[in-house]
Structures are given as structure tokens and as C-alpha cells.
């Protein structure tokens, strides 16, 4: 289970990633007015391709879905200044902050979006609409381990020994969990020395560090792990596969991150990109995306929550989630990553 490839994928080393981005496959633009939209791999990619493509085509444009993790999106755009390989990016606040500071995305014109008024004001970002809120916590297999009360349980309850997997600081999900653990064992969300000490004191947890949430999902399916940090959507996907998977809200609060579509600076297909954005926040799209296996929390206020989503979170609970300070996180993230990678590598 030891896999240290995350040290090659450092979020904090965007400059190096950009230099190497020529090695990454860049999506080929189709002729005509086609929006090339970067989307997270896996369930997001499949859902956006099947649900949004026909809607964008109905609006008179084509859509190419290009799967890429957020940090890879950033690297590829930084490698092509002024000529972005994507017209639209899909990011959480951590990457959005980097994109803004590097002038990679531009403010949008809300008048181009017919569904804009159907978003709560908190979802109307000046750099693009929020398409869902990812609520994070702890996934566990109830046949193998008891329901964890929170992060402290994972380190101090013997029932979880050797059953927990973690990822590195390149993962937003991991960072959100680590800031919470820093508050439990240290002086606050920035006290990562306390987090590193906890891992040193529990070396069995270091053996469960792998490179990505997708890797963890595979290990979970294979029964090699019983616990990992993830979003409600990850648990919904596991359940759709017929697996025993449940979601636990940590007692310290559930970290959450809005996911926004952004317009790339220098996009050659702006109108098509707007059609894609508008489709993503439409009632028609979000009524489909809220269903299994994706179960994305809908940001369009005309979309009713499913019982499955309400079992995890309601609209009233969204403001009570824990929203990390990503500007502060990004100031330290590269250093935290180096320290954690060195700790994992031994």
C-alpha cells in the first residue's frame, strides 16, 4: 500500500509542473465553436459528458470534456500563457486562489447565464458559478470498523489500526482533514507540526498513504482499507457499486468546498464556454446530477434535494460546514507538502 507518487505531483510546485506540462496530453480542439472544459476524472467526467454535452449542443455549440485534476489543469494553463488548452476550468477555492493570482481566469459576465438568478447569492462567484458543494468527512466500511466519531478516533481507537488510508497535501480533501486535525492536536489549523507529530507517533498510518482518492477508492473496493477521507459523492459512488460504505461527519465539523466553473483567460470560445456554464447550473442538469451515482449537491434553488443527499446534508446545514481559509493554506502548502512527503518517504 506504500505509494509515494504524490511527491511528483506537488500542488506547491506549480512552476515545475508547468515546465513539465508539455509531457501531459493536451486536449485537441475541434473545429468550429467548441468549448473545451476541464473536468475532474472519474464520476465527474462521465456525468458531465453524458448530461451536459447534449444540452450545450442544443444551445448551438459543441463540448469537449477533458478530464484533469485541478492541479494539472493549473499546470497546463500555466504552460500555455495566453493560449489556454481549456476554455473552462473546474476548481475548488484552493486552486481558484492560485489561478486568480496567476491571472489564469477572468471574471464572468452574469448576463450571459440565463440560470444565474436561480443560484443563491453565495453561489454567484465573480469568477464563475458554484455548481456543487463537496462536503467532506470520513468514509468507512461498517462491516469492518465501527463508525468513527471523528479524526481523533482514527489515531487513538485500536479498532482502526492498519485500516486507514491517507493522501498527501496535493489533495484538497486531505488538506481540509489535516487542518481539522491540527486544531485537535495543535494550536490551530496552521499548526501542521502537530499533525506531523501525530503521524510520527502512529507510523502505521504512514503505511496507508497513497497518491490519490481514486487510489483509495480502489483499495476500499478491494477490502484493503476500511477508512479514508472523502466527500459524500465518493461514498455515493461506492454505494452505487453495491459496496458497504457509509459517511461519518467528524465531530469537529465537516470540511466543505464549493466547486466552481471558471472562464480561462484568453479563451478562444467564450460563448461556448458560457453555454457550458449555463447548462451546468440549469435545473435540467442538476436534477440529473443529484441522482446516484454522483449525487452532487444542487446549487440551483429550484432543484429539490433527494433523500440520499439529505441523509448527508441539507440546505440549512450548508452554512454550518467548515470552510477552510485557502489563502492562508496556500501560503504554507508547498512547505507542508515537502515535510509530509519527507515524513512518508522516511
pLDDT, greater one: 132 or 171 = 132
Q: Is the pLDDT of residue 227 over 50?
A: yes
Cα–chain center distance at 244:
23
- pLDDT band of residue 16 (cuts 50, 70, 90) is very low
E-strand ranges in 151-201 read: 164-165
Which DSSP category does 119 fall into? B
Q: What is the pLDDT of residue 71?
A: 86
The average pLDDT across 72-82 equals: 92
Q: In this structure, what is the dihedral angle of CA atoms 275, 276, 279, 280, given to the nearest 10 degrees?
A: -150
Query: 90: which strand partners?
Result: 261
Q: Compute the half-sphere exposure of residue 16: CA atoms within 13 Å on the CB side of its CA.
A: 8
Largest CA distance in the chain: 59
Ramachandran area for residue 32 (φ above 0: left; ψ -120 to 50: alpha; else beta): left
Q: What is the mean pLDDT of the chain?
A: 90
pTM attached to this predicted model: 0.84
Residue reference for cell 468507512: 140
Residue 256 near residue 136 (C-beta atoms within 8 A): yes
Amino acid at each position: 500500500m506504500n505509494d509515494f507518487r504524490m511527491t511528483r505531483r506537488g500542488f506547491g510546485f506549480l512552476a515545475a509542473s508547468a515546465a513539465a506540462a508539455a509531457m501531459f496530453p493536451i486536449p485537441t480542439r475541434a473545429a468550429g465553436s467548441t468549448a473545451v472544459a476541464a473536468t475532474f476524472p472519474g464520476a465527474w467526467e462521465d456525468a458531465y459528458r453524458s448530461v451536459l454535452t447534449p444540452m450545450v449542443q442544443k444551445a448551438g455549440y459543441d463540448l469537449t470534456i477533458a478530464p484533469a485534476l485541478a492541479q494539472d489543469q493549473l499546470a497546463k494553463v500555466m504552460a500555455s500563457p495566453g493560449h489556454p488548452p481549456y476554455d473552462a476550468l473546474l476548481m475548488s477555492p484552493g486552486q481558484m486562489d492560485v489561478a486568480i493570482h496567476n491571472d489564469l481566469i477572468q471574471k464572468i459576465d452574469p448576463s450571459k447565464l440565463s440560470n444565474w438568478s436561480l443560484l443563491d447569492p453565495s453561489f454567484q462567484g465573480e469568477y464563475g458559478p458554484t455548481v456543487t458543494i463537496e462536503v467532506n468527512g470520513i468514509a468507512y466500511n461498517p462491516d469492518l470498523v465501527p463508525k468513527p466519531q471523528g479524526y481523533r478516533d482514527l489515531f487513538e481507537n485500536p479498532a482502526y489500526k492498519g485500516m486507514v488510508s491517507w493522501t498527501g497535501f496535493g489533495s484538497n480533501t486531505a488538506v481540509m482533514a489535516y487542518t481539522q486535525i491540527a486544531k485537535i492536536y495543535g494550536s490551530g489549523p496552521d499548526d501542521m507540526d502537530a499533525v506531523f507529530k501525530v503521524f510520527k507517533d502512529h507510523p502505521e498510518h504512514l503505511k496507508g498513504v497513497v497518491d490519490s482518492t481514486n487510489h483509495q477508492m480502489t483499495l476500499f473496493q478491494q477490502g484493503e482499507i476500511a477508512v479514508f477521507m472523502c466527500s459524500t459523492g465518493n461514498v455515493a459512488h461506492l454505494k452505487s457499486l453495491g459496496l458497504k460504505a457509509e459517511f461519518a461527519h467528524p465531530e469537529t465539523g465537516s470540511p466543505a468546498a464549493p466547486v466552481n466553473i471558471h472562464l480561462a483567460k484568453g479563451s478562444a470560445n467564450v460563448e461556448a464556454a458560457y453555454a457550458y456554464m449555463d447548462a451546468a447550473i440549469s435545473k435540467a442538469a442538476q436534477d440529473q446530477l443529484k441522482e446516484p451515482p454522483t449525487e452532487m449537491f444542487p446549487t440551483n434553488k429550484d432543484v429539490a434535494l433527494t433523500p440520499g443527499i439529505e441523509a448527508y446534508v441539507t440546505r440549512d446545514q450548508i452554512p454550518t460546514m467548515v470552510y477552510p481559509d485557502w489563502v492562508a493554506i496556500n501560503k504554507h502548502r508547498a512547505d507542508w507538502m515537502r515535510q509530509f512527503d519527507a515524513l512518508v518517504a522516511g
